[in-house]
């Protein structure tokens, strides 16, 4: 008969197999079962590995608070084991706790001094701390830094071009075909699109009110996470964006999928062409800390330039945080707030032109999740909070609304209806990360404001795996 330790070792191997197949939820469950079989006093070495492995699964699930809790346990059990320090540092880096992250990265650097990735993370952490100090100084002194970007396109460039510097339907159509064929547009055209998008987005409030009587219908999509070919499929299924076919994409355009550049450039081109019929909301992944871990930072630097990344971050800071459709439906990326009494006017007045803070209304909008139980609870993500159906009902009633639409979480059918029908999660990245097997979904609202939900399956994409440009950031 196998001992409990042997059973735990077998479960660890099964968990590792599930992890290798990118079934992170199942891996975390299996590691939890293995932990339950271990003796706290005799199996410290194995327990440290199991807690660290479970933290790795939760790191991929973006459950950063759970990562920190598990790595704390692993380090307590085996202070000489370097992996939990590294994973805790990654979680704190994403949460913008750069001082704590740097401390752990330095510990790992001493333990594995020849690992170049760790040294790189130490440098990145120091760079982000310097950037934060510089950014704070700029905001305090109201300094405006103007950088000139080249916009001339050489004659030998054969791809799509702006027409007299303007985005047109023909340009977008040619650009999408160019992207589908795995080609990049000229970087100077990217600069022009980003600069024009900044001008357009700056004209919108943090909360945008959409008049359904004017536009007649709108399609709401959730996270697409760099899955450009699935975005093209949405347009094939539901029609290309136009003044007669408006869209709202609800954040997390980039990261994870390896075609984030194609997604964000296409979306911004549509926003420039149809500023009042193509709407974009910020997600938690439209931020520097997330991009440096989950791939967009590496991708845009590889395909275009460092300057293109910096300029796209300026665009992200101007993305609206919320939309109200027909005075009845609120659309936000994450969810509701850590306090009652928040009004639409409070959202409208948020100063959004910054990296997401760790707390407050902006943080809650980007990070919060619903929970089945009443009231509020701590977030497994380490940012924002969890809110119950009673919180949803109170907020909607207080603001004269009928429905909350949010995204932020993968769902098996691409959507989930909760809170007695008052909350719908919509997620538009099918077979998320080429691993989850989920469907995607989008929601159509017409003048009657009844949600029409459509699910769809994934399509094939070129053989470039998700997180291809992330540089193996989690693993050492």
Spatial CA neighbour of 418 closest among 432, 405, 436, 431: 405
- End-to-end Cα spacing for the chain: 36
CA distance 317 to 206: 10
3-state secondary structure 340-391: CCCCHHHHHCCCCCCCCCCCCHHHHHHHCEECCCCCEEECCCCCCEEECHHH
Chain CA centroid to CA 206, Å? 18
Q: How many degrees, rounded to 5, is the angle at CA 319 between CA 418 and CA 248? A: 50
CA distance 275 to 258: 27
Return the SS3 of 60.
helix
| Backbone phi, psi, residue 228, to 5° | -60, -40
CA distances from 160 to 177, 178, 185, 300 (A): 10, 8, 7, 19
341: left (phi over 0), alpha (psi -120 to 50) or beta: left
| Residues noted as catalytic | 285
Spatial CA neighbour of 159 closest among 19, 50, 361, 303: 303
**Which token pair is 449?**
């404001």
Return the SS3 of 271.
helix
Spatial CA neighbour of 196 closest among 354, 348, 352, 311: 311
| Backbone phi, psi, residue 279, to 5° | -115, 145
- 94 exposure class (CB count in 10 Å sphere: 0-12, 13-18, 19+): buried
CA distance 190 to 195: 9
**Which token pair is 418?**
């909760």
Spatial CA neighbour of 433 closest among 381, 407, 468: 468
């Amino acid at each position: 008969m196998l001992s409990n330790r042997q059973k735990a070792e077998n479960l660890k191997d099964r968990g590792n197999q599930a992890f290798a197949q990118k079934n992170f939820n199942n891996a975390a469950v299996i590691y939890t079962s293995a932990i339950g079989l271990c003796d706290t006093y005799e199996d410290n070495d194995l327990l440290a590995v199991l807690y660290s492995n479970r933290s790795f699964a939760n790191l991929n699930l973006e459950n950063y608070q759970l990562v920190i809790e598990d790595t704390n346990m692993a380090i307590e059990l085996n202070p000489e084991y370097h992996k939990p320090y590294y994973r805790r540092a990654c979680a704190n880096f994403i949460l913008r706790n750069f001082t704590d992250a740097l401390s752990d990265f330095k510990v790992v650097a001493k333990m594995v001094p020849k690992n170049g990735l760790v040294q790189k993370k130490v440098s990145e952490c120091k760079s982000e701390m310097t950037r934060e100090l510089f950014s704070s100084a700029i905001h305090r002194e109201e300094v405006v830094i103007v950088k000139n970007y080249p916009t001339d396109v050489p004659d030998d460039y054969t791809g799509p071009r702006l027409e007299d510097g303007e985005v047109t339907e023909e340009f977008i159509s040619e650009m999408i075909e160019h992207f589908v064929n795995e080609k990049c547009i000229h970087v100077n055209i990217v600069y022009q699109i980003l600069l024009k998008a900044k001008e357009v987005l700056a004209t919108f409030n943090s909360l945008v009110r959409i008049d359904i009587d004017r536009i007649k219908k709108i399609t709401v999509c959730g996270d697409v996470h760099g899955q450009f070919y699935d975005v093209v499929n949405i347009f094939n299924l539901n029609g290309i964006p136009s003044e007669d076919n408006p869209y709202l994409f609800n954040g997390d355009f980039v990261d994870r999928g390896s075609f984030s550049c194609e997604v964000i450039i296409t979306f911004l081109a549509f926003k420039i062409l149809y500023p009042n019929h193509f709407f974009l909301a910020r997600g938690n992944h439209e931020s520097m800390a997330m991009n440096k871990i989950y791939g967009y930072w590496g991708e845009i630097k590889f395909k275009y330039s460092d300057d293109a990344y910096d300029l796209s971050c300026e665009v992200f800071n101007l993305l609206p945080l919320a939309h109200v459709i027909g005075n009845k439906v609120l659309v936000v990326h994450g969810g509701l707030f850590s306090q009652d009494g928040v009004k639409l006017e409070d959202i409208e007045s948020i100063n959004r032109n910054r990296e997401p803070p760790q707390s407050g209304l902006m943080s809650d909008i980007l990070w919060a999740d619903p929970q089945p139980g009443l009231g509020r609870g701590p977030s497994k993500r380490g940012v924002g909070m969890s809110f119950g159906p009673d919180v949803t009902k109170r907020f909607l009633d207080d603001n004269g609304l009928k429905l909350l639409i949010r995204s932020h979480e993968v769902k098996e059918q691409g959507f989930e209806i909760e809170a007695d029908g008052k909350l719908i999660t919509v997620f538009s990245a099918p077979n998320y990360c080429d691993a989850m097997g989920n469907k995607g979904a989008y929601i159509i609202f017409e003048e009657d404001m009844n949600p029409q939900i459509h699910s769809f399956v994934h399509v094939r994409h070129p053989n470039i795996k998700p997180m291809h440009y992330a540089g193996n950031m989690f693993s050492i």
